[in-house]
Structure 1
Amino acid sequence: MSPKQKRGEATAEQLLDAALRVYAESGEQGLTVAALTRASGVSLGSLYHHFGSVDGLMNALVMRWLERLLGELVKALEHTRTAHTGIRALVGAYLAFAQEHREAARLLHSSYADRQGMADGNRLRDTQEARLSPLAQWAQRHVDSGELAPLPAPLLESLILGPVVAVARRWLSGIDDVDLDEAAVVLPDRIWRSVSAETK
């Protein structure tokens, strides 16, 4: 990488870091060009050069943290042998991510990210295909082995991650009636009952 490319990459990172800080401090309404250039120390021209617009910057920020979250989920599955332990690992990793990266998790669970997902869901999914593939392969492997119910992949994904996302979103919204440590203990077995191929 040339020195110019390195400088460009550093500038883009500066803008992304600043955008998360501004979002954390002021919410979506605070995401103005003036606030972003002031927080980053980067010129207006550089912002537009690297991201095209404030929306472009925020979309890149959402993608950056979505990639990190998916990476953590994939990593959590690497040392699991059964579907049940895999579900426990996924729940633990997701909730740990929310605790360790609270502001980024707030962005990922925000109405801003929801609108982006609704407007451009297929493209988002396509760009994350490499990250999503190991999760889909893990689920399919356990469907084939007879551990997980033979449900369509989107339904399995919703049954496994849906409750975790809902709990994380509630906690991130500031409602203090959710204990994530308790959820990490309780949710895996409850989720397992909903996706296990065993008849109860």
Structure 2
Amino acid sequence: MSRKQQRGEATVETLLDAALRVYAEAGDQGLTVGAVTKASGVSLGSLYHHFGSIDGLMNALVMRWLERLLGELVKALENTRTAHTGIRALVRAYLDFAQEHRDAALLLHSSHADRQGMADGRRLRDAQEARLSPLAQWAERYVDAGELAPLPAPLLEALILGPVIGVARRWLSGVDDVDLDQAAVLLPERIWRAVKADSP
């Protein structure tokens, strides 16, 4: 990699890091070109060169953290031996990610990320296919083994991750009636009842 490419990559990282800080402090409305360039020390021209617009920067930021979250979920499955323990690991990994990377989790559960997902869901899914494939393969393996209900992959994904996402959103919103450690214990058993192969 040339020095110019290294500088370009460093600039991209600086802008993404600054954008997350600004988002965490000021939300959607405060995430402006001026705020990001001020927080990063990077010129306006560089921001436009690398991302095209503030929306391009935001989309790249969402993709960056979505990839990290999916990576954590895949890693969590690596040492599991059953569908049941896999679900427990997925729930724990998702909730741990929300706690450890609160600012990024706020972004991933934001209205901006929702709009991006609705407007460009197929492209986002295609872009994350390498990360999503191990999750889909994990589910398919346990459907084939008779441990998970023979449901279409999107339905299994929704039944497994939907409740976890809902709890994470509630916690991230500042509602103080959610204990993520308690949720990490209780949710996997409820989810397991919904997706195990002998469910009615």
TM-score past 0.5 threshold:
yes
- Structure-1 residue corresponding to 2:93: 93
- d(CA) in 2 for partners of 1:32, 1:134: 36
- Structure-2 residue corresponding to 1:175: 175
- Structure-1 residue corresponding to 2:122: 122
Would you say the 8 A contact 2:92–2:184 is kept in 1?
yes
Structure 1 residues 12-60: Cα deviation after superposition (integer angstroms, max 9, x where no partner): 0000000000000000000111101000000000000000000000000
TM superposition outliers: structure 1 runs of 4+ over 3 Å: none
RMSD of aligned residue pairs (Cα, Å): 0.6
Distance 1:147 1:48, change over 3 A: same
- Structure-2 residue corresponding to 1:19: 19
- Structure-2 residue corresponding to 1:152: 152
- Structure-1 residue corresponding to 2:57: 57
Post-superposition shift, 1:199? Answer: 4.2
Post-superposition shift, 1:198? Answer: 1.8
In structure 2, what residue type is equivalent to 1:5?
A: Q
In structure 1, what residue type is equivalent to 2:75?
A: K
In structure 1, what residue type is equivalent to 2:50?
A: H
Identity across aligned pairs (percent)? 83
Matched, 1:6 2:6: yes
Where in structure 2 are there 5+ consecutive unaligned residues? none
Post-superposition shift, 1:61? Answer: 0.2
Where in structure 1 are there 5+ consecutive unaligned residues? none
- d(CA) in 2 for partners of 1:35, 1:17: 13
Would you say the 8 A contact 2:74–2:135 is kept in 1?
yes
**Count of paired positions:** 200
In structure 1, what residue type is equivalent to 2:124?
A: L
Q: Secondary structure at the match of 1:150?
A: coil
TM-score (norm 1): 0.99
Q: Secondary structure at the match of 1:197?
A: coil
- Structure-2 residue corresponding to 1:166: 166
Post-superposition shift, 1:8? Answer: 0.4
Structure 1 residues 113-143: Cα deviation after superposition (integer angstroms, max 9, x where no partner): 0000000000000000000000000000000
- d(CA) in 2 for partners of 1:2, 1:61: 24
Would you say the 8 A contact 2:149–2:197 is kept in 1?
yes
TM-score (norm 2): 0.99
